[in-house]
A and B are shown apart, each in its own frame.
Chain A
Amino acid sequence: MSPKLKRYLFHFAQNFALVVIAGMAAWGVARPTYDFFYCTYVGPVLDSYACQGLSHDFGYEILGWMIMLYSFFVPLFLAALGSSARYRWIAVALSPMPLLIVVGLITGADPTIVGFGFFLGIMVLIGLGLGRFARKTLGKMPSLEAMKKYF
């Protein structure tokens, strides 16, 4: 295996793992934050009757929140810890989101889907901002090799 291919595969595996971790984080965080965060700050903006049990939610209320969290964690993890081409990876990993909105609009979902897309955008931007900040902070820390010289 050529070193170039090896390097490429390593970068691929690293970014892919971060996307998977972002998905798992969204899954894990959604449930404990759903009641106190989503139902209080996000849901009521999209749906006047969110979380009130007046509508059928069929569990999809929490799925919406999970998608939002995924849109937050993907740019956060990839921007902070991603390897080369991380922004392209962010774009690819989040590409289903605009697709979801477009398909929703085409198939005739409620107009509130635009608001949902707006929230997704906010989550992406916050995640991206925090990720870049984290990357800079991590970059300022001494490397492992440098630390080994001292300890």
Chain B
Amino acid sequence: MSGKTIPNRFFAAVVGASFLFLASPSFAAASSLVWGNVEGGDPVRIEILDGGTYVVPLNTPAPAFIDSPFAFFDFTGTLYRIDDSGGTPVREEIATINCLGCTPESTLEWSSAGQYELDLPLFEPASQNFNDTLKRWLARVFFAEIAHAQIDPIETIHFTIEEAAAACANPCLSSIFFIPGFQASRLYQGNVISENQVWEPNSLQSDVQKLYLDENGASINPTYTKADAAIDSVGPFFSRTDIYRTFLEQLGSLVANDTIAGFGVFPYDWRVSVDDIVENGTIYNDGTHYPAAELESLAAGSMTGKVTIVAHSNGGLVAKALMRKLEAEGNAGLVDKIIFVGTPQLGTPKAIASLLHGDFQNIPGWAGFLVSKANARALGENMPGAFGLLPSPEYFARVADPVVDLSAAPALRAGAGLSLPTVDSAAELAKFLTGAGGRAQPAFDKIEIPSVLSSTLLSNATALHNDLDTWTPPAGVEVFQIAGWGLDTPKNVVYTEKRQAFCITASCSSATTTHHVVKMTEDGDQTVVSASAAVEDTFPVYYLNLISYKAETRHDVRHAYLTEAKPFQDLLLQLISTTTSPILPAHISNTRPQSTSAEKRLRLRVLSPVSLDAYDNLGNHTGMAPNPTPGSDLLYKEEDIFNSYYEEFGEGKYLGLPEGTYTINLKGLAQGTFTFEITPVTGGIEGTTTSYIDIPVSVLTTGTTTIDASGQLGSLALDQNGDGVADTIITSPTQATDPLTYAKLIKTSIAGMDMGAKTKRQLIAKFANVGYMIAKLDKWENEDDDGKETNKTGKLTERIIKKLGKIEQYIKKQLAKSAPKLKQNKVQLERITPAQAEALLDMLSTLKKLVIIK
């Protein structure tokens, strides 16, 4: 073999190989854009081909080049973003990219997701692909004549870019944006030199008065909050209650151990409407802060480029309004999850009692030194934020229970322009709250009379709820609801009215008085009923059983600090993570916990002035008992019957008993009338209430009744003169409404009163006469009706009413003459005391009603 032949043979081999190579099907591959770092780098290298969709981290620069079959000479491509926001797609040039091996190398970062196009010069043959160094060298040798000749037409690569999670440690979690609840942000007035913290209040009444708003819902005094004003804990230094302290510490530790990149808290002026907070921001000490801007800023630094919103209580309504805004701005993609914690999504009945009476808002509850009920009510009257917590139309669509019961308050019903006795629709509630029937605004300190609320603020709140209650999360946003469960939570307000006589030394007058009690359900967290916090058919629900949690840990967690519960904090870790655990933390369930009163229970209630005691078959007692401490006159509560309770709220005394057989004792504590009710409760649902209404009572009166195993109430034996023998036996509640029985009750009640002998004789005789007339009335009514009786009974009824009127005059006259007089050096017994007169006049009023109804 000669030296010449080797190069020739080598050249021939190369040419042959090149032709074989060029003819092979592998050349058919198209051009592509390559972006990213070599293997192991970040972001990982990807090859972008025509028609593809690629997930990339945004705003991350990385090397880029065009890989083409003709990359053996230098050329550039032009990258365009397709902007179709205006309806018509418009190409927007964003970069030029060099070819593989070109100098300099290109660097590219994707600033936004969307459609892109890359224009490349098209060479012939377009289908050939030289994709390794050898092939490119061979091509340079054989196709040098077409180098640098960029020939039309242009080849265009179309592709889509989607945003991906930025590189982060595993697991890659979003930053957390926390929105606190109602009244959970501190508020300040004044300036840096003389700053005054007005919430939580620390001076007698004046702080809360400084928070008043005008009738348009605008703050009268300039008020601001601060970035660190979410209340961590409250109270005097020796007895502080954690509100968000451990929760904020938990968020801090998540950042410290690199689980999340950061967290933000958005304190706000909770007095204003949630949409106002979102649209107009909230004033901080360093200017106005907008939740949307704060969220966007947090998202920019998040590992995922997104944020998880955790919203407590009213913060959940802020979160919904915020999502509406983000959606309108096209930024809803910045949120990946929303976790509502005890959010009154549909409002809550507690707000009714608070706005109308200042209930639950006075501080402290025992005297209202810092905030009285009257001031709390005055603050709420113009507070759009509080109006947003009232039950919304959607609440009534989901909850059957009425929120206001006016069955025993006809004047209030008329004042609200309502025809039905209960309020179970948004329209009826609006009428009641605004006094649509002409109810007058009560005096500032008359807190027992319901306030008249602003119809403008109410309609604004209704419109807001109509919007928020229909909110559905955009695609890609997960929503979770956490509801506290098991604590007595206000579910409705029951009003009663009574024509009450007011007697002073020598004269009497009468007026209608209004009273209210707040009825409770265990289906809530003491503020928000779970029907509102957990709207079951919308998003996943988690119930936090606060009763079982307290029983196990003695940690008393309520609505205001649900986030302090350990199970909540454990659940939060699960919810923010990328993987879901099938095992929920203790005391958390996806289904509503079983009622603690799944078995049948009895709720007994008396309205003063009587004591209420229950005894079981073994003689165990529940009720008030003599204090065992010698010398102490403080009341002592005994709850010896298993699983029973005894409470006194306002004028009422309440007793709860498990199913069983009991003896119930009632003992008069003062002159007056009492009402006794028993309600069976099965599985937390109340049955029909049986009532003995307006029974006359004095300090000598004792009453005894029984409850059998089926929960039926036995007859009520009343001993009205204290001789230990039953004077009257009322066999059923309906019998107590029989006028004749009631007249007899009054008569025996008078017999037991300590009053002037002559007056007592006269009164007994007068009521005996009335009793006789009523008996006659009964007799005539029972006779066969030949048409004449109707006229006769009508006249007799008139006579009875007239007689009762005369008795009323007699009582008032006797009271006027009752001033104690010295006669023959002896102090004479009063003819009648003001208390006795009051009680008798009330009984007369009831008897009149019963005769008229008959």
Q: Among B206, B234, B488, B648, which residue has its beta carbon within 8 angstroms of that of A45?
A: B648
Q: Does A82 contact B (CB under 8 A)?
A: no
Interface pair A108/B375, CB less than 8 Å apart: yes
Q: Which of A101-115 contact B (CB under 8 A)?
A: 103-104, 107-110, 112-113, 115
- Asked if B364 and A58 make an inter-chain contact with CB atoms under 8 angstroms apart, the answer reads yes
Q: Taking each of A30, A52, A55, A113, which has the highest tally of chain B beta carbons within 10 Å of its own beta carbon?
A: A55
- Which residue from chain A places its CB closest to the CB of B201 in the assembled complex? A58
> Of A4-12, A36-44, A84-92, A136-144, which binds chain B?
A36-44
Partner of A58 from B234, B238, B526, B633 at Cβ < 8 Å: B234
Is the CB of B92 closer than 8 A to any CB of chain A? no
B368 near A113 (CB under 8 angstroms)? yes
Asked if A53 and B239 make an inter-chain contact with CB atoms under 8 angstroms apart, the answer reads no
State A17–B353 Cα separation when bound (angstroms): 47
Chain B binding surface, main DSSP class: loop
Instruction: Tell yes or no: B235 within 8 A of A by CB.
Output: yes
Question: From B637, which residue of chain A is reached at the shortest CB distance?
Answer: A40
Complex interface: chain A residues within 8 A of B558 (CB): 53
Stretch at the interface among B213-221, B355-363, B455-463, B658-666: B355-363
Q: Which residue of B lies closest to A104 (CB)?
A: B369
Given contacts A48-B649, A59-B236, contact A112 B366 (CB under 8 A): yes
Query: Does A63 reach chain B (CB closer than 8 Å)?
Result: yes
Task: List CB contacts (< 8 Å) of B550-588 with chain A.
Answer: 556, 558-560
Per the 8 Å Cβ criterion, residues 45-104 of A in contact with B are 45-50, 52-64, 100, 103-104
Instruction: Annotate B342-355 by CB proximity to A: 1 below 8 A, 0 otherwise.
Output: 00000000100000
Residues of A within 8 A of B488 (CB): 52, 54
Task: Report the interface size for chain B: residues with CB under 8 A from the other chain.
Answer: 51
For A57, give the chain B residue with the smallest CB separation: B364
Q: Does A16 contact B (CB under 8 A)?
A: no
Interface SS of chain A: helix
State whether B365 touches A44 (Cβ < 8 A). Answer: no
A-B contact number at CB 8 A: 137
Q: Is the CB of A109 within 8 A of B490?
A: no
A129 vs B363: C-alpha distance when bound (angstroms): 32
- Cβ-defined contact, B363 with A43, below 8 A: no
Interface size class of A (residues with CB under 8 A): 35 or more
| Chain A hits for B527, CB < 8 A | 54
For chain B residues 231-278, which have a beta carbon within 8 Å of chain A?
234-236, 238-241
Given contacts A56-B183, A108-B372, contact A41 B637 (CB under 8 A): yes
Residues of B within 8 A of A100 (CB): 369
Known: A61-B365, A64-B367, A108-B375. A54 touches B350 (CB 8 A): yes
Contact residue among B205, B236, B367, B637 (Cβ-Cβ distance under 8 Å from A46): B367
Known: A53-B560, A108-B372, A108-B375. A60 touches B634 (CB 8 A): no
Indicate if the CB atoms of B366 and A47 lie closer than 8 Å: yes
Q: How far is the CA of A110 from the CA of B235 in the complex (A)?
A: 20
- Using Cβ atoms and an 8 Å threshold, which residues of chain B touch A113? 367-369
- Bound together, the chains give a CA A37 to CA B609 distance in angstroms of 24
Tell whether, in the assembled complex, residue B372 and residue A109 are in contact, meaning their CB atoms are under 8 Å apart.
yes
Report if A41-B204 is in contact (Cβ < 8 Å); known contacts: A60-B364, A110-B372, A116-B366: no
Offer 18 A-B interface pairs, CB within 8 angstroms, sorted by A. Answer: A40-B637, A44-B648, A47-B364, A48-B648, A48-B649, A54-B350, A55-B361, A55-B363, A56-B360, A57-B241, A58-B234, A59-B234, A59-B240, A63-B239, A64-B364, A100-B369, A109-B368, A112-B366
Which residues in B have some Cβ–Cβ distance to A below 8 Å?
183, 200, 204-206, 234-236, 238-241, 350, 359-375, 445, 487-488, 490, 526-527, 556, 558-560, 631-637, 647-650
Nearest first, the 9 closest Cβ-Cβ pairs linking A and B are A59-B235, A110-B368, A60-B364, A47-B365, A48-B649, A53-B558, A46-B366, A113-B367, A48-B650
**Other contacts beyond A40-B637, A60-B235: 19, CB < 8 A:** A30-B239, A41-B635, A43-B365, A44-B647, A48-B649, A48-B650, A53-B526, A58-B234, A58-B363, A59-B234, A60-B236, A64-B364, A64-B366, A64-B367, A108-B372, A109-B204, A110-B367, A112-B367, A116-B367
